[in-house]
Amino acid sequence: MEGVGCTSRRSEGPLVLLLHGFPECWYNWRHQFTPLAGAGYHVVAVDQRGYARSDRPAAVEEYTILHLVGDAIGLIRELGAEQAVVIGHDLGGMVAWSTALMRPDVVRGVVGLSVPPPQRGPVPPLQAMRELFGGQFYWNYFQSPGVADAELAKDPHATFRRVMYGLCGDNRTATRRSSRSSHRARDSWTSSRTPRNYPPGSPRPTSTHSRRSSPKPGSPAHSTGTATSTAIGS
């Protein structure tokens, strides 16, 4: 991984690392910053590799669970912590559980949202999902070469609008409120800039940029940890 974007709310307490799911970014954790920091934790939300302000390696081989776990461990180390509580949602939950499984010496606690602890099944996950959902599950959809790319590229504006709307909630009041918030998140999704507007009480990080050489595939990715929003690239 050539770079990683992260946002933190500093405290002198234990480190909490927040790992988002698909298709999300650090901004999805914005409501958790204040209560966790208020409880005394040093809170860090990261854009995982391939998302938002983090770099996007072209080779699919650079997105294995070993790479994602290595990213989490490397970030914890770069933040100067010996251990961290790792919290993940969706895809981030898979990474959180796997990080705890592979490096129990580093993970002092783990929380998985939407995804239970992993276990080895009788068939590979993609095959199981294909058999259960006939290839309609989103994992299989995005695994089919060119299919999702062609469909989503027909109208990028409509695609983005529908994705953001779909993340907003199911009642009108929540949808209106979340829709406004989703517009604030667009910078985090599409550029290295931090959102210009924040909900009341949420952290307001500044943006910095630095350079770091890319580690070899399979090695942990690194990021500096400060009370800012940071983007690091090769």
pLDDT per position as a tens digit, 89-101: 999 999 999 999 9
**d(Cα 163, Cα 220) in Å, to the nearest integer?**
31
Q: Tell me the residue ranges of DSSP E strands in the chain.
A: 5-9, 15-19, 42-47, 84-89, 107-113, 207-211, 229-233
Residue 232 pLDDT: 26
* CATH number of the domain encompassing residue 162: 3.40.50.1820
47, β-bridge pairs: 5
| Domain around 133 | 5-233
Angle in degrees, CA 219, 225, 229, rounded to 5: 110
pTM above 0.75, yes or no: no
- Higher pLDDT pick, 159 / 228: 159
Q: Which residue has the higher pLDDT, 200 or 74?
A: 74
Which residue in this structure is represented by tokens 């999704």? 189
pLDDT digit string, tens, across residues 3-55: 555 555 566 789 999 999 988 899 999 999 999 999 999 999 999 999 988 88
**pLDDT of amino acid 178:** 46
pLDDT at 83 over 70: yes
Q: Is the pLDDT of residue 152 over 70?
A: yes
More confident residue, 197 or 179: 179
DSSP bridge partners of 43 = 9, 16
- The total number of structural domains in the chain stands at 1
For residue 72, name the pLDDT band (cuts at 50, 70, 90).
very high
- Paired tokens of 94: 């898979």
